[in-house]
Amino acid sequence: MLEARSLRRLHLGPVGFTLEAGECVSVSGKSGAGKSLLLRMVADLDPHDGDVTLDGAPCSAMAAPAWRRMVTYVAADAGWWDDRVAAHFAPDIDLAALLPQVGIPPDAVAWPVARLSTGERQRLALLRALRPANRVLLLDEPTSGLDPANSVLVEALLRARLAAGTAILMVTHDSEQAARMASHHLEVRDGELRELAR
């Protein structure tokens, strides 16, 4: 479904990979190896060489905002552009009903962002990226700050998306999580992308 070819920026690349619908692929590597760089290139958030196609349609031939609504990057430390939690979500969704899915009480709808803990912010950043248009999720350490119970919730949410046909490229340092979630495992090392044996 998603195919990346000859991606290159700074010390990373050229690299390529493919993602099938409903497939999760993990990305590991040392800090600074270029894992986030890779995800950001796929979302076209930085200037780079190479191109990515979704069902054969190239990113470079599409308006960038339209691409990012389908191929969505969720940063490890997500940003907040409003003081209120609810302002970060589309008005057409029932946020209070969704919050318990990630272990957050429904009344957090009315909270200010400043009241959220690091882990709550991380889960809300993931939740706000899950939109109907979304086909591919590029997740940068989605459970790094979470306790085991909340990690389980997030993984369950991601499995539901996978079952619905969304593809996920996920940076994770947790090899057990990678084994639980992903069918293929990539490693960024010395500027290259290698497939690890299962």
Partner 1 sequence: MSPTLLGYGDLAIAALLIVLNAALSLWLDLGLTRTVLVAAARAVVQLLLVGLVLRTVFALASPLLIGAVLLVMLLSASYEIASRQERRFAGFWAYGIGAATTMLATVLVTAFALAGTLRPDPWYAPQVLVPLAGIILGNVMNGVSVSLNAFNTAVVRERPAIEARLALGADRYAALKPLQRSALRSGMIPIVNQMSAAGIITLPGMMTGQILAGMEPVEAAKYQILILFLVAGGAGLGALGATTAAAWRITDERHRLRLDRLRKK
> What does the binding site for partner 1 look like in residue numbers (CB under 8 A)?
43-47, 63-66, 68-69, 72-75, 77-82, 125, 128-129, 131, 133
Identity of the residue, 17 or 73, whose beta carbon is nearer to partner 1 in the bound complex: 73
Q: Contacts by 173-180 with C-beta closer than 8 Å and gap 24+? A: 173/28, 173/141, 173/144, 174/143, 175/28, 177/26, 177/143, 177/151, 178/26, 178/28, 180/155
Identity of the residue, 46 or 195, whose beta carbon is nearer to partner 1 in the bound complex: 46
* Minimum CB–partner distance for residue 15 and partner 1 (Å): 19
Amino acid code (one letter) for 83 = D
- In angstroms, the CA 69 to CA 135 distance is 8
How many helices (H) does the chain have, and how many strands (E)? Answer: 6, 10
Coarse DSSP helix, strand, coil percentages of the chain, rounded to the nearest 5 percent: 35, 30, 35
* Minimum CB–partner distance for residue 149 and partner 1 (Å): 26
Identity of the residue, 55 or 83, whose beta carbon is nearer to partner 1 in the bound complex: 83
Identity of the residue, 62 or 152, whose beta carbon is nearer to partner 1 in the bound complex: 62
* Minimum CB–partner distance for residue 146 and partner 1 (Å): 19
Identity of the residue, 66 or 156, whose beta carbon is nearer to partner 1 in the bound complex: 66
* Minimum CB–partner distance for residue 73 and partner 1 (Å): 4
* Minimum CB–partner distance for residue 26 and partner 1 (Å): 20
Q: How many CB atoms lie within 10 A of CB 110?
A: 11
* Minimum CB–partner distance for residue 66 and partner 1 (Å): 7
For the chain, what is the radius of gyration of the CA atoms? Answer: 16
Identity of the residue, 9 or 185, whose beta carbon is nearer to partner 1 in the bound complex: 9
β-partners of residue 15 are 7
CB 19 within 8 A of CB 2: yes
